[in-house]
Chain A
Amino acid sequence: MIMGSNIFDFSTVTGPFHEWLLENMSPGLTMTIEWSIIGLTLILFAAISVMALVYMERKVAAFFQLRLGPMRVGPWGLFQVVADFLKLLMKEHIMNKTADKFLFNLAPFIIVIAAFLGLGTIPYALGMHIFDINIGIFFITSVSSIGVLGILLGGWAANNKYSLIGALRSGAQVVSYELSVTLSLLAIVVFTGTLQLSEIVESQADGWWIFKGHIVAWISFIIYLIAGTAETNRGPFDLAEAESELTAGFHTEYSGIKFAMFFLAEYVNLFIIAAIGATMFLGGWMPLHIGFEGFDNVMDYIPSIFWFFGKTFFIILIIMWFKWTFPRLRIDQILILEWKYLLPINLVNLLIAALVVLNGWHF
């Protein structure tokens, strides 16, 4: 009933394809083919979206600083990212003589695997959801904390003082801010009563949580944005890399494709944080519904995938706005911000959310 008939359902494409495969071959083979297609799509999607994000980051940064940004390669510098990527692929692998070779090579894979596991659980559009498990939010928060393991391993194995300092800082930061990210998401989970992402999206058919959950949702959303920025090691919280102090932090010693993997994971994580924020607070792929049938129907004609990416890129823009406005925090300031401000506010907010839900004060 909530699925408006006008929203394009992606499963009308994948469903018949799945049945056609089942008719022609064994279930095992069907499974293999489907998973390889999905994996390939995901890798392609990650590569393309990271390129788009890098280009967007450079242009947005430039405009915030009244510069032009990349302009030389291609029209408006569009192919600059491709050139950078090709350069990264062709660069030499360099490893410290004293580095722990196994861990050094393992770290980029851990971080990329964590990023891709997160990508798999996001509902991109109606019927376009790779695995829709009933513990979606729980899964994403736990998977995103694997990433810090990669950072710590990379920083440790490189046997370089800058790497180690960057890794430890990043560890302290991510461990603390994960609390805030999870607690702010929990406020919405209290509203919806489910951890499953598809159900959370469907619960927003009559209004996004940022409108329905009024003040509680607003506070959670702001805390989520701050903590999410910190969890991706970006913006004013980038002291894991802190170019001016630590050269490049935990990936100082990495070069070539391994560096590119860290780079890829960083932007994929940014995308995941923004996508989860869009799904939980801004309705994911759900079009804007205000209750008038005519208006809702018009909104439904815009494909749900555009709604999803529009909201995601809106949040990414906000996070980039943070990055190019605020000065970097010190490590003690970061921990004070988390433990003395965000966490208590978050806990009180969660309590209020429970009260609101008990009394039915939300819309």
Chain B
Amino acid sequence: MSGITKYFGDIFHGVKTLLTGMKITAYYFRNARKEIITQQYPENRDTLKIPERFRGIVAMPHDENNEHACTGCQACEIACPNGSIEINWTREVDPETGKKKKTIEKHVYHHDMCTLCNLCIVACPTDAIVMEPTFEHAVYDRSLLTQVLNKPGSKLRAGVED
């Protein structure tokens, strides 16, 4: 008896789940006009909508005083699985306290090696680097893909290390 109930139960369960799936796709099909996410790229360059979590390139935001939040802790360099980040750092003596302090000279980023895995962004304790949602990165020379992320003359923003 249980075999027969199971047989018909299987049929009804199967039909029910199939209909659930078809309901979902039917919703997509009926609302395709307003829910289509494809964008006609070269034509809509001005009105391009890029998703929030799109990972295009690693960048280091600087504020208006040309200051960034990178303390040179090298957490991103350690987190990077394929060595796309190199940090050249020095120790500078703080004139007020006389302590030696680590500062970055160059935050070197190899875009040509980077797999955009986001691990460096997660590892950064001070949110000094972010993923920028840009994507037109083609250049004519491979060496141009090796970038220095901190701008010349920039320095650490006060209060980041506290």
Contact = CB atoms under 8 A, between A and B. Distances in A.
Given A63-B28, A66-B28, A326 B35 contact: no
Contacts of A63: 28-29, 32, 36
A322 B22 CA distance: 7
Contacts of B35: 66
Taking residues whose C-beta sits less than 8 angstroms from the other chain, chain B's interface range is 10 to 19
B29 A321 contact: yes
- Binding site secondary structure of chain B: helix
Given A321-B22, A325-B21, A64 B29 contact: yes
Determine the interface band of chain A, counting residues with CB < 8 A from chain B. 10 to 19
A203 B22 CA distance: 33
B40 A65 contact: no
Interface in A321-335: 321-322, 324-326
A325 B37 contact: no
A324 B32 CA distance: 14
Given A62-B32, A68-B36, 12 more contacts: A60-B29, A63-B29, A64-B28, A64-B32, A66-B28, A66-B32, A71-B40, A321-B22, A321-B29, A325-B22, A325-B25, A341-B11
B18 interface: yes
Interface of A: 60, 62-68, 71, 321-322, 324-326, 341, 345
A296 B26 CA distance: 31
Interface in B13-30: 18, 21-22, 24-26, 28-29
A267 to B, nearest CB: 20
Interface in B73-104: none
A339 B11 CA distance: 14
Interface of B: 11, 18, 21-22, 24-26, 28-29, 32, 35-38, 40
B23 to A, nearest CB: 9
Contacts of B32: 62-64, 66
A345 B32 CA distance: 36
A22 B53 CA distance: 75
A321 B21 CA distance: 10
B3 to A, nearest CB: 12
Contacts of B11: 341, 345
Contacts of B29: 60, 63-64, 321
B18 A326 contact: yes
Nearest to A344: B7
19 contacts: A62-B38, A63-B28, A63-B32, A63-B36, A64-B29, A64-B32, A65-B28, A66-B36, A66-B37, A67-B36, A71-B40, A321-B22, A321-B26, A325-B18, A325-B21, A325-B22, A325-B25, A326-B18, A345-B11
Nearest to B33: A63
A166 B26 CA distance: 31
Contacts of B40: 68, 71
Most buried by A among B29, B35, B40: B29
- Indicate the member of A60, A63, A68, A321 with the most B CB atoms within 10 Å: A63
A62 B28 CA distance: 10
